[in-house]
Amino acid sequence: MNSDVLPSLGRFAAGYLVAATIGVAAGTLIGLVPWLRRCTQPLTEFVRSVPPPLLFPFALVLFGVGDDSKVALIALGSVWPVLLNTVDGVRSVDPEILDVARSFRIRGWMRVKRIVVPAASPKIIAGLRVALSVALLLMVVSEMQGGTNGVGFRIRYAQRSFDTADAYAGVIVIGVVGFAVNLLFLAVESRLMRWHRGARGVLEGTRRPVG
């Protein structure tokens, strides 16, 4: 079982990082551009309604039976919580904060980096946390369907061999991995939100009347 954990963690990390990067970048762009949001809304609503495990045949066709298809499935399934929460977070940025940015002539990429993303970060982080559990689930599903190693593959092999102890050991390993990943995420979240509160405090201070 130990030799199966590292390949699973590698696929999980790669798929999750791809989903987080694409989700935040595309979500920010869609949230900032109204016409792009209107154009992409039907597609995003359709794709996110499809159960993620059903995307596995699509990933196999595009990327083959290797690790690429497993990483692609994890990314395809877990990108939507990140993207949709990012869009919602960007759209809900306080207009007064944007007015303050304009008054200080903070525009373009600097406005996105210094104002929009920090203000939207609570919802972005919420999406990233939901995506963690989705990515972990899809890691197991992808390894069960077309894997030759990994925790998911080991669980399915144990089930077919009627090795109940090994199957339960795999389930426990997945639970421990999920618990550890969640703790790590909470530590990162605490640090990021402390930065967010500090940035928001500075912005709030600029809006207070003098005197």
Query: CA angle 76-77-83, nearest 5°?
Result: 80
Which amino acid belongs to residue 103? S
Residue 135, φ and ψ in degrees, nearest 5:
-65, -40
CA distance 69 to 125: 26
Q: What is the pLDDT of residue 125?
A: 92
Average pLDDT over the chain reads: 82
Q: Structural domain of residue 183, as residue ranges? A: 2-207
pTM: 0.84
Question: How many domains are contained in the chain?
Answer: 1
CA distance 14 to 17: 5
Quickly tell me which residue has 């809304």 as its tokens: 41
CA distance 100 to 31: 19
Q: What percent of the chain has pLDDT over 90?
A: 27
pLDDT reading at 124 higher than 50: yes
Q: What is the pLDDT of residue 197?
A: 59
Describe the crossing of helices 2-32 and 151-160 by its angle, rounded to 10 degrees.
130
pLDDT reading at 17 higher than 90: yes
Token duo for residue 185: 């995420």
Q: What is the pLDDT of residues 23-77, one digit of tens each?
A: 999 999 998 888 988 888 888 888 777 777 777 777 777 777 778 888 988 998 8
Average pLDDT value for residue range 205-211: 51
Confidence bin at 179 (pLDDT 50/70/90): very high
Residue 52 has what DSSP assignment?
A: G
Residue 177, φ and ψ in degrees, nearest 5:
-60, -45
Q: What is the pLDDT of residues 137-149, one digit of tens each?
A: 999 888 887 677 8
CA distance 119 to 101: 12
Q: What is the pLDDT of residue 198?
A: 56
What is the CATH classification number for the domain harbouring 11? 1.10.3720.10
pLDDT reading at 210 higher than 50: no
Which amino acid belongs to residue 32? L
Token duo for residue 134: 């989705």
